[in-house]
Amino acid sequence: MVRNSLGRELPESFNGRQVVPYQDPYSLQPDCNQATRPLRRINPDQEKVLPNLREAIIAAGLKDGMCIATHHHLRNGDALLGAVVRELDALGLRDITIASSSIHPVHAELIPYIEKGVISGFECGVNGPIGEMVSRGELNCPIIVRTHGGRARAVMSGQVQIDAAFIAAPSCDSYGNMTGAFGPSACGSLGYAHTDARYAKKVIAVTDNLVPYPARSFAIQQTLVDYVVPVESLGDPSKIVSTTTRITRDPVGLQIAKYAAQVIETSGLLQDGFSFQTGSGGISLAVADQVRQKMQAGNIKGSFGCGGITGYFVDMLEEGLFQTLFDVQCFDLKAVESIGKNAGHQEISADMYANPFNAGAVVNQLDCVILGATEVDVNFNVNVNTESNGLLLHNTGGHSDTAAGAKLSIITAPSIRGRLPIVRDEVTTVTTPGATIDVIITERGIAVNEQHADLKQELQKRKLPVKDIRELQQEIYSVTGKPRPLEFTDDVVALIEYRDGSIIDAVRKIKT
Partner 1 sequence: MSVFQLRRSLLYVPGNMPSMLQNIPIFESDGVMIDLEDAVPLSEKDAARILVRRFLENYQDRNKEIIVRINALDTKWGEDDLRAVLPALPDGIRLPKADTPEIVETLDTMLTEFEEELGLEIGRFKILPSIESAEGVINCIRTAKSTKRLIGLAFGAEDYTASLEIERTKKGEELFAARTRVVWACKAAGIQAIDTIFADAGDMEGLHRETQLIKTLGFSGKSLVNPRQIDVIHEVFAPKQEDVDYALQVVDAIQKAREMGTGVISLHGKMVDAPVVKRAVNTLKTAQAHGMIDIELDEEVIYGQE
Q: Applying CB under 8 A, which residues contact partner 1?
A: 249, 251-252, 254-255, 416, 443-444, 462-463, 478-479
Q: What is the smallest separation between the CB atom of 422 and partner 1, expressed in angstroms?
A: 14
Closest CB to partner 1 among residues 346, 480: 480
Q: What is the smallest separation between the CB atom of 446 and partner 1, expressed in angstroms?
A: 12
Are 291 and 277 within 8 A, CB to CB? Answer: no
Strand-pairing partners, residue 497, are 503
The pair phi, psi for residue 368, each rounded to 5°, is: -145, 135
Q: What is the smallest separation between the CB atom of 473 and partner 1, expressed in angstroms?
A: 15
The pair phi, psi for residue 436, each rounded to 5°, is: -105, 5
Q: What is the smallest separation between the CB atom of 255 and partner 1, expressed in angstroms?
A: 6
Alpha helices by DSSP H, listed for 95-181, are 111-115, 129-135, 148-157
Q: SS3 for 425?
A: coil
Q: What is the smallest separation between the CB atom of 442 and partner 1, expressed in angstroms?
A: 9
Closest CB to partner 1 among residues 24, 265: 265
Instruction: Give the burial string for 287-324 (b: 16+ CB within 10 Å, else e).
Output: bbbbbbebbeeeeeebbbbbbbbbbbbbbbbeeebbeb
Query: At what angle are helices 453-461 and 251-267 packed, to 10 degrees?
Result: 120
Are 225 and 193 within 8 A, CB to CB? Answer: no
Closest CB to partner 1 among residues 38, 251: 251
Q: What is the smallest separation between the CB atom of 296 and partner 1, expressed in angstroms?
A: 16
The pair phi, psi for residue 476, each rounded to 5°, is: -70, -40
Closest CB to partner 1 among residues 92, 251: 251
C-alpha 265/C-alpha 295 separation (Å) is 10
Closest CB to partner 1 among residues 69, 254: 254
Closest CB to partner 1 among residues 65, 483: 483
The DSSP line for 315-382 is: HHHHTTS-SEEEEEEE-SHHHHHHHTT-TTEEE--HHHHH-SSSS--GGGG-SEEEE--SEEETT--E
Q: What is the smallest separation between the CB atom of 465 and partner 1, expressed in angstroms?
A: 9
Nearest to 77 by CA among 332, 428, 255: 332
Closest CB to partner 1 among residues 49, 416: 416
Q: What is the smallest separation between the CB atom of 371 and partner 1, expressed in angstroms?
A: 21
Instruction: Give the burial string for 444-463 (b: 16+ CB within 10 Å, else e).
Output: bbbbbbeeeeebbebbeeee
Closest CB to partner 1 among residues 148, 467: 467
Q: What is the smallest separation between the CB atom of 443 and partner 1, expressed in angstroms?
A: 4
C-alpha 73/C-alpha 101 separation (Å) is 9
C-alpha 476/C-alpha 202 separation (Å) is 53
Closest CB to partner 1 among residues 247, 430: 247
Closest CB to partner 1 among residues 344, 465: 465
Element (H, E) at 488: strand 488-497
C-alpha 143/C-alpha 496 separation (Å) is 9
Q: What is the smallest separation between the CB atom of 286 and partner 1, expressed in angstroms?
A: 11
Q: What angle do CA 460, 466, 468 make, to 5 degrees?
A: 125
